[in-house]
Amino acid sequence: MAFSESRGASAGGGRRPDLSTLLVAALIYGSWIAATLAARRLPWPVVAAVGGWLIAWHGSLQHETIHGHPTRSRRANRLLGSPPLSLWLPYARYERLHLAHHSTEHLTLPGLDPESRYLGGGSSGLSRATARATQTLAGRLLVGPALEIGGFLASEARAFVRNEPGVRRAWTLHGLGVALIAVWLAAVCRLSLVEYLLGFVYPGTALSLLRSFAEHRADPDRSRRIAIVERAPLLGLLFLNNNLHAVHHAFPGASWRALPGLYGSRRDELLAANGGLVYAGYGEVFRRFLLRPHDVLVHPQAAAQLEGATP
């Protein structure tokens, strides 16, 4: 059977605060404080491993708060997720764009899905070159963070200049948060922004891009565009079970703790619905796509539309 996001929106379980998510939040923020304080005294590989994990984990926490957890209060959830540890992604913009990703009927189609990784048929040569650089997993992890952050900031700058609704307010609030973090890093931790970007933000963004690398794929059938990575004992914790991505799309109101149970009880239905777009684990993703493209560069529907418009 096919699952719908409207059906899944009510699958969030009880309305009591999710203590597991609150514990994760406490671990993230407490560990971030400790890691930034200790960063100058630790070997650089340790800083990158710990700092990268914390930034990616914080991104997973933000994703959880956007979907209505761990409390019934939207304001409380936003406050919990809004500290800009990654520096480059305003929480309000992430919330708006991610919810638009869930609500679109044109998942993966560029221009209609804000999280699409595909190009439209008339993309420029520069767009094609940068997108091609991240078609393989190796490219996605090595140069993907720079291209992801740069592309997002360029897009947001255009939206800021056009004064699109909510953009200037989001960036003003975000800027205040970034200023507080910059003061903490410089005055308390004696850590420069460059060191923080290289030791925390860049590896953390790379880890987040590992999660999103193969989770969507263009397909004429909307229900077959969302992947599942079945076994991820360590990375599943880092991604708060969002490796079970088709389950999350089917039940977007469900907490991260509920996703494995939902998958276990509905596995056959979910696999039938998503057309078998399943990976055994992230090891399979590495083996298949480390040096090979995950999919085509230009979205098939966009390419077909371009061909149909060509005289």
Range 17-21 contact pairs with CB under 8 angstroms and sequence separation of 24 or more: 17/70, 17/71, 17/72, 18/69, 18/70, 18/71, 18/255, 18/257, 19/70, 20/70, 20/255, 20/256, 20/257, 21/61, 21/64, 21/69, 21/70, 21/255, 21/256, 21/257
Q: What's the pLDDT at 169?
A: 98
Mean pLDDT of 94-106: 96
Q: What's the pLDDT at 41?
A: 96
Domain range summary for the chain, segments of one domain joined by + = 20-217+289-309
Per-residue pLDDT of 59-87, as tens digits, reads 999 999 999 999 999 999 999 999 999 99
Q: How confident is the model at residue 134 (pLDDT cuts 50, 70, 90)?
A: very high
